[in-house]
Amino acid sequence: MKTKLIKSCLVLPTLLLSLTSVAEVNPSKFTLAIIKNATGTTDILKGKYQEGLTKLAKLKYRKDIKFNLATGNCVANIMLDKYDQAITFCDEAIETVDDDNYLKSVAHSNRGIARFKAGDVDGALVDLNLADQLDDNPIIDGNLDVLKLKMNPLMKVASE
């Protein structure tokens, strides 16, 4: 499955398209991954999360786009603070990927962010470490760094 990802910084209450390279993403914010040109993505990136979800809900889940739909639903629900729903869709995204470690890693990363936001720090750490084992990439590295900073407030103060 060849799918293009776009990255975005998780800046509550909006999701902003990052126009900088991954290395330049703000190190104090998580980065969510969403599928470029997939149904609902444009709305989600514009902060129209409910509109994106509405478009996603109208599609029948076809095997060939299931990952895209699950990922879009995951990200939009994170941005709407509906973490239980986001985790369910992240689970679905993870389950749809068999042989693409990069896509599986970003799905685990997204779920790790949802878990952290839901208050499950241990689950977030498990997901982000697994994502890192699956595919070492800058999105995952950055999210692990953010999680570590958020887990240890003393480190955050010392780095400022």
Residue from 86, 136, 135, 144 nearest 115 by CA:
86
Does 22 fall in a domain? yes
Give 74's pLDDT tier (boundaries 50, 70, 90). very high
Torsion, Cα 20 132 118 15, to 10 degrees, reads 10
Tally of domains in the chain? 1
- Mean pLDDT lowest among 52-66, 94-108, 128-142: 52-66
What is the identity of the amino acid at 45?
L
Give 127's pLDDT tier (boundaries 50, 70, 90). very high
SS3 118: coil
Residue 51 has pLDDT above 70, yes or no: yes
What is the identity of the amino acid at 21?
S
Helix (H) or strand (E) run with residue 141 in it: helix 138-151
Does 103 fall in a domain? yes
Q: Which domain holds residue 134?
A: 5-155
We report the CATH number of the domain holding residue 108 as 1.25.40.10
Spatial distance between the Cα atoms of 58 and 137, rounded to a whole number of angstroms: 33
Does 21 fall in a domain? yes
Question: Do residues 151 and 121 make contact, with C-beta atoms less than 8 angstroms apart?
Answer: yes
Does 30 fall in a domain? yes
Helix (H) or strand (E) run with residue 9 in it: strand 5-11
Does 160 fall in a domain? no
Residue 38 has pLDDT above 70, yes or no: yes
Give 82's pLDDT tier (boundaries 50, 70, 90). very high
